[in-house]
Amino acid sequence: MNPINHVAIIMDGNGRWGLKNKKSRNAGHKAGLKTVEKIIKASMKKKIKFLTLFAFSTENWKRPKKEVVYLFNLLEDFLKNQLESLHKRNIKLKFIGSRNFSKNLNKLLNLAEKKTLNNENLQINLALNYGSKIELLEAFKGMQKTKAKVNERNFIKHLQTKNIPDPDLLIRTGNTNRLSNFLLWQLAYSEIFFEKKLWPDFNKNDYYKILDKFKSIKRNFGNI
């Protein structure tokens, strides 16, 4: 049985769900947030230590302004309303991605990280304005500035995910089979599960089924 320490998720399908069920993409994002809350609860129940969620990519800025503004308002409200509850549940929050948002949002992200820094239950890594290629380029630049030998062990110290173990599994909902510039280095040996359901329809039983499947996979890491 494989232990599950870290689950990463590409929460895809909000827009399609919203258009199909409520005639607006943004309604899909609102429904997607409910799934986020369910999956946080389910992860805690399963004693998972790290949950990394792809909430906004460096490419998502290309979307209509109305949708981008809606997503950031949703995030801001979520943090303002839920920070206390997340903290009480001993959850640690970390944000990965380039942090060049409004002064207020930057302040809120810093506050959330600082407040929950010593929490030990579940660590949620929220990928916001995140792109793996930029992360890798920045890590190469960081590496160049040091005299340290170029090797894996030294290189990973320059990634935004330093101190976070690599994901054991990646789940992507929304019936799309690609990585979309997410954790390209870190997913090198992760098991990947592509799920047909759209993110707002994904529920804890779907999640548990994937976790069970993962547990029984023989992981070779290049060995036989």
Do the Cβ atoms of 9 and 171 come closer than 8 Å?
Answer: yes
Pick between residue 101 and residue 199 the one whose CB is nearest to ligand FPP.
Answer: 199
Contact between 194 and ligand FPP by CB under 6 A: the answer reads no
Is residue 22 at the binding interface for ligand FPP, with CB under 6 A as the rule?
A: no
If binding is defined by CB under 6 A, does position 125 make contact with ligand FPP?
no
Report the catalytic residues. 12, 60
Residues 186 and 166 sit within 8 Å (Cβ to Cβ): yes
Contact call for residue 131 and ligand FPP (CB under 6 A)? no
Whose Cβ is closer to ligand FPP: residue 33's or residue 139's?
33
CA 29 to chain centre: 15
The helix (H) or strand (E) run that includes residue 165 is none
Residue 42's H or E segment, with its range, is helix 25-45
Q: Does 195 bind ligand FPP (CB under 6 A)?
A: no
How does DSSP classify residue 175?
S
With residue 172 as reference, give the H or E element that holds it: strand 169-172
Among 36, 42, 169, 171, binds ligand FPP (CB under 6 A): 36
Residue 129 near ligand FPP by CB under 6 A: no
By the 8 A CB rule, do 208 and 36 touch?
Answer: no
Q: Does 167 bind ligand FPP (CB under 6 A)?
A: no
Q: The tokens of 37 are what?
A: 């809350």
Touching ligand FPP, residues 66-105 (CB under 6 A): 71, 74-75, 78
Give the nearest distance from C-beta 160 to ligand FPP in angstroms: 17
Nearer to ligand FPP, 28 or 167 (CB): 28
- Specify the residue, 5 or 180, whose C-beta has the smaller distance to ligand FPP: 180
Considering only residues 32, 97, 131, 167, which one is a binding residue for ligand FPP as defined by CB under 6 A?
32
Minimum distance from residue 36 beta carbon to ligand FPP (Å): 5
What's 61's DSSP letter?
A: G
The number of residues in the chain equals: 224
Residue 134 or 143: the one with the smaller Cβ distance to ligand FPP is: 134
Cβ atoms of 197 and 173 closer than 8 Å: yes
How far is residue 136 from each of residues 117, 139, 178, measured CA to CA in Å? 25, 5, 19
Among 14, 43, 123, 190, binds ligand FPP (CB under 6 A): 14
Q: Torsion-angle region of residue 175: left (phi > 0), alpha (psi -120 to 50) or beta?
A: left
The contact set with ligand FPP (CB under 6 A) reads 11-16, 29, 32-33, 36, 55-56, 60, 71, 74-75, 78, 126, 174, 199
